[in-house]
Amino acid sequence: METDAVEGTLERIIAIRVREYRHAAGLSVGDMAQRVGISKAMLSKIENAQTSCSLTTLSRLARGLEVPVTSLFRGMDAEREAVFVPAGQGSRIVRRGTRVGHEYAMLGALRGAHKRMEALLVTLTESSEVFPLFQHSGTELIFMLEGTMVYGHGESRYTLLPGDALQFDGEGAHGPDELVALPIRFLSITAYGDTADH
């Protein structure tokens, strides 16, 4: 992308964000300009993408709007990762506990520098005498779609019916305890937090 095009896009994004946050704060252009310490004409130019802001002005705007400076650039990096999986097309994966009648279909995983999310569609069509226990970092959400099962997390047991949701810390040992009504289908979504050192 040409430098001029990038600058033009940046000015438009900042204009949109400043106007958006000013409206959300219920401030007029005059009130906002006074709060930030710039002229009304200058704020008007910023909101109409007619000028480039200095870093000092951006910092003042963010302080006046009580938002992080980075929020004024939200939308600049519009290319975001997305994963679309048509029905029945999830990749079959094999993991500990996979056996006949136990299917795990990966519906997608987003991975970034400090974040990750994994979604599985789990289908259980045959009972087992022993179920594997899972432990992993992050927070997991189970949403029941079909059937009934008793699900264990640590010392607790939960009877899950279609429409029920269970959210828990993945580091606690967890897994199906009893398959009550087959077939059982549920979504398992795990979000992994920021692992960067602070």
> Per residue in 73-128, pLDDT tens?
776 655 556 666 677 766 665 554 445 677 777 777 776 655 588 888 898 888 77
**CA atoms of 11 and 51, how far apart (whole Å):** 7
Strand partners, 166: 142
Average per-residue pLDDT in the chain?
Answer: 80
Residue 60 lies in a domain: yes
User: The domain containing residue 105 runs over which residues?
Assistant: 91-192
Same domain, 58 and 104: no
**CA atoms of 187 and 121, how far apart (whole Å):** 5
Residue 128 lies in a domain: yes
Same domain, 105 and 58: no
Rounded to the nearest 10 degrees, the angle between the axes of helix 55-65 and helix 3-25 is: 20
pTM for the whole structure: 0.54
Task: Give the pLDDT confidence of 6-23 residue by residue, as tens digits.
Answer: 456 788 888 988 988 888
Residue 79 lies in a domain: no
Same domain, 99 and 177: yes
Q: What is the residue whose two structure tokens read 């963010």?
A: 62
